[in-house]
Amino acid sequence: MAVAEQQTVADAQPAAAGTRVPTVIVDDVHIVYTVYGAGTGKGSATAALARLVTRKSNPNIRRVHAVKGVTFTAYRGEAIGIIGSNGSGKSTILRAIAGLLPPESGKIYTDGQPSLLGVNAALMNDLTGSTNVVLGGLAMGMSQEEVRERYQGIVDFSGINEKGDFISLPMRTYSSGMAARLRFSIAAAKNHDVLMIDEALATGDRAFQKRSEERIRELRKEAGTVFLVSHNNNSIRDTCDRVVWLEKGELLMDGPTDDVIKAYESHSGK
């Protein structure tokens, strides 16, 4: 794979006074996964030697071209939904913007450190929810003082303690929805330059979804940019003003939420 092309937006576009401020520029990005052990052939030494002699590639290595030439620019204050059918490359593009996957070709410029919800706040299953709140906060760059101040707010937001004192139990005792809610609450406690949320809203119950949608709106007001990957078109409608539609790794449409979702729904027969 090529070396990561993660650069700052200022490298690409110097900000002019009074213009919209770009936070993420994705420029003709291709992302390829290399999958080892994909074939059924045996990996014997003679087979490897035969491949060297005949110059054939290893049949056990497959390449998956997950994102194909995607280009868009996100601006400060925008909430952008990313939609598309299963396997269309939505999570892959977010992971690349977060700097976790190097593009095969093309460039990604970002303003500040983008945070991918659920990855940046990787929580430890054997530790209590409470310890995870503290460690997660520190890991996101909060001071001990800030963590102390925001601790109760994070626990209340997550709703983990609504049915008893679960925050003092190890996270492995949580349902997947509870764990996702805690991850979201920790990540959302900080103001992010660029916050990326992958399906987080689909996990919580209705009350939690409402709270998270409210928090996403606040984060936008605080001048960040929010990306939301979701299969729930209502969540996207409630939260985003712009939508990028990916299909088979390609960008099919990029525009106002209503226009893109309407086209997507008639395409997928919903």
Q: Which is nearer to ligand ATP, 88 or 257 (CB)?
A: 88
Say which residues have a Cβ less than 8 Å from residue 188's Cβ, sequence separation at least 6.
Answer: 117, 157, 195, 212, 215, 216, 219
Other CB atoms within 10 A of residue 131 CB: 16
Q: Which is nearer to ligand ATP, 65 or 262 (CB)?
A: 65
Query: Could you tell me the smallest distance in angstroms from the CB atom of residue 66 to ligand ATP?
Result: 3
Instruction: Report the Cα 91 to chain-centroid distance in Å.
Output: 6
Residue 195: which of 76, 66, 63, 90 has the closest Cα?
76
Token pair 């492995």 is found at: 172
Query: Could you tell me the smallest distance in angstroms from the CB atom of residue 185 to ligand ATP?
Result: 22
Query: Could you tell me the smallest distance in angstroms from the CB atom of residue 3 to ligand ATP?
Result: 19
Query: Could you tell me the smallest distance in angstroms from the CB atom of residue 98 to ligand ATP?
Result: 13
First to last CA, the chain: 38
For the chain, state the CA radius of gyration: 21
Residue 30: which of 87, 73, 71 has the closest Cα?
71
Query: Could you tell me the smallest distance in angstroms from the CB atom of residue 58 to ligand ATP?
Result: 16
Query: Could you tell me the smallest distance in angstroms from the CB atom of residue 144 to ligand ATP?
Result: 36
Q: Which residues bind ligand ATP (CB under 6 A)?
A: 33, 35, 64, 66, 84, 86-92
Q: Which is nearer to ligand ATP, 12 or 202 (CB)?
A: 202
Q: Which is nearer to ligand ATP, 101 or 160 (CB)?
A: 101
Q: Which is nearer to ligand ATP, 169 or 202 (CB)?
A: 202
Edge to edge, the sheet with strand 22-35 lists 6-8, 105-110, 22-35, 62-75
Q: Which is nearer to ligand ATP, 94 or 142 (CB)?
A: 94
> What is the C-alpha separation between 118 and 229, in angstroms, rounded?
13
